[in-house]
Amino acid sequence: MATDRHRLARRGPTGERGQHGRGGQLERAAAARIAGVLTERDADRAAHALNALLAECGARPRLSAHDGHGWHLHVDRGDDASWGEWFLAASALALAQILTEYGRVPWGECAADGCRVLYLGTGPGPARRYCSAPCASRSRVAAHRRRLRERRS
């Protein structure tokens, strides 16, 4: 999963524009805070940041059934919580589960020059550094060309 941090801050969970006014501000602030956690590469600092978010959200797991959906897990303050509150609490809980499952930070910001896309790398293999194969390839080619130039000079 990869997402541009600015797109995450502008849009809701389905890619739709979020609420306008105060609700939209809360959504953007929640997305920016989660993006801050997603750029943290140190597991201890990420865990402390997630614990702080969960405590702030008052995240207590509960079952909820609403809007024609069956019972499902919520961790926000209640059914009347804003989308921003839900997003912050649910994202913090999901990232906390991922961190404990993998024992390391499997997310980050793409290491390619000029790319600011955030990724979640939970697949098999070594830890990811890039959001996509094209970014990884461009970075490898650029490094190879840089080494060739250095040898020539």
Triad 58, 64, 68: Cα angle to 5°: 140
pLDDT digits (tens, 9 = 90+) for 45-99: 999 999 999 998 877 888 888 889 899 888 877 777 788 888 999 999 999 999 9
pLDDT digits (tens, 9 = 90+) for 90-147: 999 999 999 999 999 999 999 999 999 999 988 888 888 999 999 999 999 999 999 9
Q: CA dist 147 to 40, 112, 138, Å?
A: 30, 17, 14
The SS3 of residue 116 is: coil
Cα–chain-centroid distance for residue 27? 14
CA distance 111 to 139: 8
The kind and range of the H/E element at 83 are helix 83-102
C-beta separation of 109 from 118 below 8 A: yes
- Map out the domains of the chain with their CATH numbers: 2-152 (1.10.3300)
Q: Would you state the pLDDT for residue 15?
A: 44
